[in-house]
Amino acid sequence: MKGKPLHQGFKGVVWSIIGDHEYFSNTLGLPHWSSHYPCWECDAENFTPCTFGKGYKDICLEKQKFRVYTHEECLVDPWSDHALFKLPGTSSCMVRGDPLHILFCKGIYGHVMGGIMHYLCYYEGPGVRTAKKPSERLAVLFSQVQVHYTQQECKNRLTNLRLSMICDPAKPWAKHPVLDCKGGESRHLLPALTPVLQSVFAGTTERCEAEMLNAATSLEKLVKLWDDIGVCPTPAQYEQTLSLGGSFLKSYAWLNAWSLEKDRMSFHVVAKHHTPSASTQSCSGVSRGRIM
């Protein structure tokens, strides 16, 4: 049926291909996030030692030197032999990760909030007995979150927050903490959590706490900006996007390094961080500019 009309009088155009990383890698046959060259959008590297500025998990914008592949390059040399990329004019440049998976559904939001909540529950550090039960600390935090849920008239709420949703309570330092909840719950939790953090970290002298607060507030403002703008941002909105995105990534990169130094296993850098950072750094204008 190749090349034959789908319907009399109608035509279809592939505009974008949206999904999560598992779908892109396992179904579409695009590079896996754990491979040496994991990105079909640019020439990022994932091995040691990486070329400076090409490291897949280096999310500091000022260090990045990724080269984004053009649509024409991908047509000539496709990343995958999937049937989708054999359609005339269709290339991997049309593959776009969607915000639901990158941010909300086990994405960047989960790593940010999971890392911060884990710190608030276990701020004494690994191997140290907590002065108060972590579950009790989490309950106090969540009670304050619910106050802001009400003030913000939020209807899509996280109804219950348990320690097991962040880590294994029996082995809290064994894996990177990630908040596990539904995408909609995650999306609306951060605006209610941020004012709580502003109160908790008010007047702090700990840099790690200041960076956590900046990461959370920058990310919240960034998503709020996207909610308010149209399909295409103005040049001013685009510059604000880069500023907020860069501020978040800089704080998160610092927290990742701090966590490794303190053996805290928090603020893990994953494939979903590369999607905003690489595309932000490499775009040449508003028409190509995107954080996701």
pLDDT (tens, 9 = 90+) of the chain, 292 residues, equals 777 777 777 777 888 898 888 999 999 999 999 999 999 999 999 998 999 999 988 888 888 899 999 999 999 999 999 999 999 899 999 998 888 889 998 899 999 999 999 999 999 999 999 999 999 999 999 999 999 999 999 999 999 999 999 999 999 999 999 999 999 999 999 999 999 999 999 999 999 999 999 999 999 999 999 999 988 889 999 999 999 999 999 999 999 999 999 999 999 999 888 887 655 544 433 333 333 3
Q: For residues 153 and 135, what is the distance between their CA atoms, to the nearest angstrom?
A: 26
Taking phi over 0 as left and psi of -120 to 50 as alpha, with beta for the rest, 176 belongs to: beta
Query: Token digits for 86?
Result: 């054999």
Listed in sequence order, the residues at least 6 apart from 159 whose beta carbon sits closer than 8 Å to its beta carbon are none
- Sort 290 into a burial class: Cβ within 10 Å, 0-12 / 13-18 / 19+: middle
Question: Contact, 16 vs 96, CB < 8 A?
Answer: yes
Query: Token digits for 72?
Result: 């024409």
Is the bond into 78 cis (omega within 30 degrees of 0)? no
Question: Contact, 246 vs 202, CB < 8 A?
Answer: no
pTM score: 0.88
